């Protein structure tokens, strides 16, 4: 396999790139290392990759890259590059999301049209569902996102389908459900919770704590992504969930057990764009991709906390 991974310096992208290298693939990473969070964190994500002889990084925005050259000889494309964050996607910043999530995806798909690529795997999100889908969420449910971020992820997903239908680009979309684990972005919930506990500060809780999420450990998300590259049906969409749907209040209990420190909770109003519940129906992924999550929430939280403690020791 010769792979192009967009967003290779990010949380999931760096784990995926390492797994690809370990499997014998040659990987070109494309990442513009935006200032959404500090560059030093992304460099730390890539520390092992930088030493790998079959990995190279092109530091450039996707829209400015020479994609014809980058795609030369590539067998698989993994499109993980995106502007993340539900709460920051409102207002004037929306233009950043449309540029990085929608326009960049169209540019990549256009470049892939007519090339002998075996699969293009697109990292979508459970944010596309919104709050009206029945539980557990099935891929055929009507998408009705409640955040501008979710709108852009859905738009990019639709572009993947469009380019499959019209140009036979073998695109497969994966709807990740709340991925966590080592290297999680500092703005994401578990990273913020653990950081607050380590500093002895209150943990911020938006809403009443009764909201639920289907938490997916990063290694399981990567396994699904690898499987989609060979087993995914072109034009298809798959839910990728960890099978650990838990209330936020229960997460705080688990974090207290993992850290051995009591949590002080500061409650704030629910934030616009935050979905109240998510739960993935993964039947399709189990059938087509042989996807079966292996890491429990307790195990995953311990792994993330141990990693954060080692990094900040």
pLDDT in tens, 6-37: 999 999 999 999 999 999 999 999 999 988 89
Q: How confident is the model at residue 161 (pLDDT cuts 50, 70, 90)?
A: very high
- Cα–Cα distances in Å, from 192 out to 36, 144, 255? 15, 28, 12
Q: Within 10 Å of residue 137's Cβ, how many Cβ atoms?
A: 24
pLDDT at 127: 98
Q: Which residues of 223-237 are buried (b: 16+ CB within 10 A; e: fewer)?
A: bbbbbbbebbeebbb
Contact 281, 136 (CB under 8 A): yes
pLDDT at 244: 82
pLDDT tens digits, residue range 30-62? 999 988 899 999 999 999 999 999 999 999 999
For the chain, the domains span: 2-177+218-240+281-293
Q: So which residues are the catalytic ones?
A: 149
CA end-to-end span of the chain? 37
pLDDT at 147: 97
pLDDT tens digits, residue range 163-218? 999 999 999 999 999 999 999 999 999 999 999 999 999 999 999 999 999 999 99
Distance CA 191, CA 85 (A): 14
Q: What is the 3-state secondary structure (H, E, C) of the chain?
A: CEEEEECCCCHHHHHHHHHHHHCCCEEEEEECCCCCCCHHHHHHHCHHHHCCCCEEEEECCHHHCCHHHHCCCCCEEEECCCCCCCHHHCHHHHHHHHHHHHHHHHHHHHHHCCCCCCEEEEEEEHHHCCCCCCCCECCCCCCCCCCHHHHHHHHHHHHHHHHHHHHCCCEEEEEECCEECCCCCCCCHHHHHHHHHHHCCCEEEECCCCCEEEEEEHHHHHHHHHHHHHHCCCCCEEEECCCEEEEHHHHHHHHHHHHCCCCCEEEECCCCCCCCECCECCHHHHHHHCCCCCCCHHHHHHHHHHHHHHHCC
Distance CA 158, CA 147 (A): 17
Per the model's pLDDT, the better-predicted residue between 107 and 263 turns out to be: 107
> What CATH code would you report for 2-177+218-240+281-293?
3.40.50.720
Distance CA 16, CA 30 (A): 13
Distance CA 29, CA 55 (A): 7
* pTM of the complete model: 0.97
pLDDT at 171: 98
Nearest to 179 by CA among 267, 236, 110, 239: 239
């Amino acid at each position: 396999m010769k792979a192009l991974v967009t967003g290779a310096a990010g949380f999931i992208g760096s784990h995926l790139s390492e797994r690809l290298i370990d499997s014998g693939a040659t990987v070109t990473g494309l990442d513009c290392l935006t200032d959404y969070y500090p560059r030093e964190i992304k460099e730390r994500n890539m520390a092992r990759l930088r030493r790998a002889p079959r990995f190279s990084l092109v530091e450039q925005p996707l829209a400015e890259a020479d994609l014809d050259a980058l795609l030369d000889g590539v067998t698989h494309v993994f499109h993980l590059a995106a502007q993340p964050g539900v709460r920051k996607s409102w207002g004037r910043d929306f233009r950043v999301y449309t540029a990085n999530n929608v326009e960049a995806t169209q540019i990549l798909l256009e470049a892939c049209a007519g090339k002998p690529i075996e699969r293009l795997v697109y990292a979508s999100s459970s944010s596309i569902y919104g709050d009206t889908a029945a539980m557990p969420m099935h891929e055929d449910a009507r998408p009705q996102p409640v955040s501008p971020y979710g709108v852009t992820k859905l738009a990019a997903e639709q572009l993947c389908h469009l380019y499959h239908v019209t140009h036979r680009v073998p695109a497969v979309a994966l709807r990740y459900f709340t991925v966590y684990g080592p290297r999680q972005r500092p703005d994401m919930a578990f990273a913020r919770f653990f950081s607050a506990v380590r500093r002895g500060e209150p943990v911020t809780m938006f809403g009443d704590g009764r909201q639920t999420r289907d938490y997916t450990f990063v290694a399981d998300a990567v396994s699904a992504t690898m499987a989609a590259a060979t087993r995914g049906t072109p034009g298809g969409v798959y839910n990728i969930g960890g099978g650990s749907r838990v209330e936020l209040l229960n997460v705080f209990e688990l974090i207290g057990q993992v850290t051995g420190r009591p949590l002080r909770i500061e409650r704030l109003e629910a934030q616009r764009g935050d979905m109240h519940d998510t739960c993935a129906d993964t039947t399709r992924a189990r059938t087509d991709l042989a996807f079966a999550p292996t890491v429990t929430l307790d195990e995953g939280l311990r792994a993330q906390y141990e990693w954060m403690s080692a990094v900040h020791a």
